[in-house]
Amino acid sequence: MKEDFYVDNNATTRLLPPVREELERIIHTSYGNPSSPHSQARFGRDLIDDARGMVSQFLGALPEQIIFTSCGSESNSIVLQSVLKGEKFKGDTVVTTSVEHSSVKNNIAFLEKYGYKVFFLPVDHRGIIDIDKLAVLLKTYDVAIVSVIWAHNETGVIQPLEKIVELAHMYGALVHTDAAQLVGRQKLSLRDYNVDFLTFTGHKLHAPKGIGVLYAKDKDYLLPLIIGGEQEFGLRAGTENILGIGALRIAIEERIKNFDESLKKLKILRDSFEVKVIERISDVKINGNTEMRTPNTSNLMFKNLDGRAIVARLDMEGIICSQTSACTSQIPEPSLTLRAMGLSEDEAFGSIRFSFGVDNEEEQIEEIVERLEVIVKSLRQFNAAVYL
């Protein structure tokens, strides 16, 4: 049986061994509710405090600016629903991009339904937003918030957030960024970016699913989606997910310890893969900005082929990859992101995302490319025979 190669790390990642060990430790050690007054609750409270400190150190923030949630989508929803309900937000306009994750796009559609003006910034063929268009919107309208995905989940393209924040703040607008694909894949300190809200999720960083993070420079802008107890500064009621929070702490600790080495490895894997594919398979193009992108992501367009067929055949051959975000993979349409970047419908359907993790190894690349080469050749021969 052929070995499986998992290269869909932008969808989710496998647990690191130290993370699994921490989950075991918490399961066997902690059974008290962190909000209880007795000694058995202290373990959970200490664990949450330690994790909050670790996350704040990782982001270059203060512990009191970190709110634990269940996922990136919940974190995004808290911010954007607070725009609708919160009195501190000024303005009647929301600006976002044409390439947002569905958890942002659908929340903003909800705001539009309730009377907010909504503008979607276009992107160029590289996947970069039109900064000049943003400037015009900020000058013309009373913008409450600008929401921009920092690094794209399909292409890895990184937006110029520093410029976006500077421009938005010049006109009194706040800035939110979905950083699920950037956190852990680029060194950052929020002190350098001055962003108002940032969200990410642990399962992109080899922690388990079910733990998300919301950074808020000023929590007074936020209102809770879940109302009840006073957990998470009163912004996220409900008994805390100690397993997820503790596991996230270890995942981040591991990334901090090996940050430079991890980023270097991811880039070597991605670059080696792209070089080999382009050398050995004809009519392949890299989608998106090849300079400003996360080090682990490669989005490739295979000319005149259906990417859905390639992904299915790769799956049968033990190579796990995808075409779009996991949250939109069930929609039978070509990638809206790639279409926004100017690709035709056929080109978008012919594109595949390969995203590498620190648990991939360089020797796997050759085997992945070999299997991919055979599949592409077979599909092209089949297409040629059909259209004879």
What DSSP line would sit under 89-120, residue for residue? ---SEEEEETT--HHHHHHHHHHHHTT-EEEE
Strand residue runs (E) in 336-375? 351-355
In this predicted structure, the answer to whether residue 92 has a pLDDT above a threshold of 80 is yes
Q: What's the whole-number mean pLDDT along residues 155-175? A: 97
pTM score: 0.95
328 band by pLDDT with thresholds 50, 70 and 90: low
Asked if 152 and 266 sit in the same domain, the reply is: no
Asked if 97 and 202 sit in the same domain, the reply is: yes
User: How many Å apart are CA 156 and CA 287, to the nearest integer?
Assistant: 10
Q: Are residues 105 and 330 in contact, defined by beta-carbon separation less than 8 angstroms? A: no
- pLDDT (0 to 100) of residue 68: 98
Annotated catalytic sites, by residue?
327
Last residue in a domain, options 223, 257, 291: 257
Asked if 281 and 355 sit in the same domain, the reply is: yes
Taking phi first (over 0 means left), then psi (-120 to 50 degrees means alpha), and beta for anything else, what does residue 2 get?
beta
Domain that holds residue 185: 17-257
Minimum mean pLDDT range among 39-48, 125-134, 146-155: 39-48
Q: What's the whole-number mean pLDDT along residues 336-343? A: 96
Asked if 246 and 302 sit in the same domain, the reply is: no
Q: 353-367 burial string, b = 16+ CB within 10 Å, else e?
A: bbbbbbebeeebbee
Asked if 172 and 81 sit in the same domain, the reply is: yes
| Tokens of residue 133, six digits | 């268009």
- pLDDT (0 to 100) of residue 2: 60
User: How many Å apart are CA 153 and CA 182, to the nearest integer?
Assistant: 9
Last residue in a domain, options 227, 257, 287: 257
Give the alpha-carbon dihedral of 250, 251, 254, 260, to 10 degrees.
Answer: -150
Among 164, 187, 166, 192, residue whose Cα is nearest residue 177: 164
- How many beta carbons lie within 10 A of that of residue 189, not counting itself? 10
User: How many Å apart are CA 353 and CA 311, to the nearest integer?
Assistant: 9
Q: What's the whole-number mean pLDDT along residues 345-358? A: 96
Minimum mean pLDDT range among 36-40, 66-70, 157-161: 36-40
Last residue in a domain, options 224, 257, 290: 257
Asked if 299 and 318 sit in the same domain, the reply is: yes
Asked if 240 and 325 sit in the same domain, the reply is: no
Asked if 215 and 271 sit in the same domain, the reply is: no
- pLDDT (0 to 100) of residue 326: 52
CATH of the domain at 133: 3.40.640.10
Among 111, 102, 180, residue whose Cα is nearest residue 145: 111
| Tokens of residue 372, six digits | 């991919």
First-to-last alpha carbon distance for the chain, in angstroms, is 35
Asked if 238 and 345 sit in the same domain, the reply is: no
Asked if 47 and 158 sit in the same domain, the reply is: yes
Q: For the chain, give the longest Cα–Cα distance.
A: 78
Asked if 245 and 111 sit in the same domain, the reply is: yes
Q: How far is CA 277 from the centre of its chain?
A: 25
Q: 297-331 burial string, b = 16+ CB within 10 Å, else e?
A: bbbbbbeebebebbbebbeebebbbbbbbeebeee
Asked if 216 and 295 sit in the same domain, the reply is: no
Q: What's the whole-number mean pLDDT along residues 223-245? A: 96
CATH of the domain at 277: 3.90.1150.10
